[in-house]
Structure 1
Amino acid sequence: MTTIDVSLNSATVHEAAGRIGALPSAIKPLDTAMRLAAPAFPVRTPPGDNLWLHRAVYAASPGEVLVVDAGWGFEYGYWGEILAEAAIARGLAGLVIHGGVRDSRRLVELGMPVFAERVCVSGTVKDPAGPGALGEAITIGNASIRRGDLIVADADGVVCIPSDRADDIRALSAQRERAETEYIRRIRDGETTVAIYKLP
């Protein structure tokens, strides 16, 4: 399975991909040290209901990251310590949710990368008749996420890269990183950013 080196940052990948795939900037890691690069397993859940997340933990394959559209129902804690422990036991790579989580301190201690729109104490229901989906394409903000697309996430944000472009974006990202390393060397040697970037 193709992956992107987690040493590459989300901003570099976003630029290398042609500035596509950025999820809403409100989705942030619970800890700025958290990093993620893994194939997506999309989940759609009704607002205020986390039954589909319980199902997703066992439907996703080890190494996949759950990417959850909670239908703009932000004021709920869909994910907490129990689900995180279950996901870790299953070997999942992490969670990205356009919604809330709780037990935040414990989630940080557990170490599984969690990227959420907010932290919220409010509990959820588990309605067996609630509409949802596992593994089907979802849209979060302006980004479309399909199963197998690559999710790259760090302190700057979350980016989704179409799976068929992953290898090309990895190579372009590495080129950008090497170029920026050289720019930093030149700046430290006294050159200006205006000269380096040939700015007017």
Structure 2
Amino acid sequence: MTECLLYPRPPAVPQERIAALAAFPTAAISDGLGRVGGAPGLRPMTGRVAMAGPAFTVHTRPGDNLAVHQALDLARPGDVLVIAGGGDRERALVGGLACAWAVHRRLAGIVLDGAVRDLDELSTLEIPVFALDVSHQGPYKDGPGVIGGPVAIRGTSVDTGDVAVADQDGVAFVPRERVTEALDGAARIAENEARSMAAIRDGAWRRPFVEAVTVRHVTREEG
């Protein structure tokens, strides 16, 4: 019998805190956390892009989605299903059917370190789907898998209960223990960028990191 391990859920992040994070761009969130917590390379595969919710993780071996289907049945409304598929691009782990079931289960979205298929169907979805690539080749359903535990998505550690936020720039993950830090940091980044934009409009944008550079002029012959 195929076995899937299931971790218990941690305490939930209050919904109002998740909504507060969703008000900031992913760039401000990741910058506010020291420019970590991103999932580089994942891109939106659906018309809808904006997304925020608690992560519900699943780790499956590349090319196999048995644990993904199990996780879809265990996920709660509002969850973002975060699938660690090992970055495999050869076989799609979700397609039109699985994503339609995610909509029926009222998930907030899907983040997949792997491939999807059925883009025509995905384009009409009511939830966002972010993935690494597209492949028409389907998955196997042999297992095993781990649900609800820590996973790695594009080199970033994500656990169930962490907050996933997405926009056109990609997906940011906020550890549940760092939500306050992320909110404070994102607010600080947003304020700094507003000041910089005002300075640009006034033609007075100063960048200390540029001003600190020593410029040595050379001749063409030296170059």
Same fold (TM over 0.5): yes
Once the two structures are TM-superposed, the CA of residue 74 in structure 1 deviates from its matched residue by 2.1
Q: Which protein is bigger by CA-based radius of gyration? A: 2
Aligned counterpart, 2:211: 199
Q: Residue by residue, what CA displacement relative to the aligned partner does 1:153-179 show, whole Å, maximum 9, x if unpaired?
A: 222222211101112211221221122
- How far apart, in 2, do the equivalents of 1:133 and 1:74 lie? 20
Aligned positions of 1:150-161 closer than 5 A: 150-161=163-174
The correspondence for 1:59, drawn from 49, 74, 79, is 74
Distance 2:37 2:47 in 1: 20
Q: 1:32 to 1:14 in 2, by over 3 A?
A: farther
Once superposed, what is the RMSD of the aligned Cα atoms? Answer: 1.9
Deviation per residue, 1:111-140 (Å, 9 max, x gap): 31110000111111212xx21111011112
Residue 68 (structure 1) aligned with residue 83 (structure 2):
yes
SS of the aligned residue for 1:190 comes to: coil
Unaligned runs of 5+ in 2: 1-13, 213-223
TM-score by length of 1: 0.89
SS at match of 2:83: strand
Identity across matched positions, percent: 35
Change (3 A) 1:32 1:89: closer
Q: Kindly report structure 1 stretches of 4+ aligned residues shifted beyond 6 Å.
A: none
Who is 2:36 aligned against?
Answer: 20
TM-score of the superposed pair, with normalisation by structure 2: 0.81
Retained in 2: the 8 A contact 1:59–1:134? no
Deviations, residues 27-65 of structure 1 (Å, cap 9, x unaligned)? 111257612221111101122111111111111111110
Gaps of 5+ in 1: none
Could you give the per-residue CA deviations for residues 139-160 of structure 1, whole angstroms, max 9, x where no partner exists?
1232111110111222222221
Shift of 1:110: 1.2
Query: Is residue 11 of structure 1 aligned with residue 27 of structure 2?
Result: yes
Are positions 1:170 and 2:186 aligned together? no
CA contact (8 A) 1:33 1:155 kept: no
Corresponding residue for 1:139?
Answer: 152
> Number of residues paired by the alignment?
196
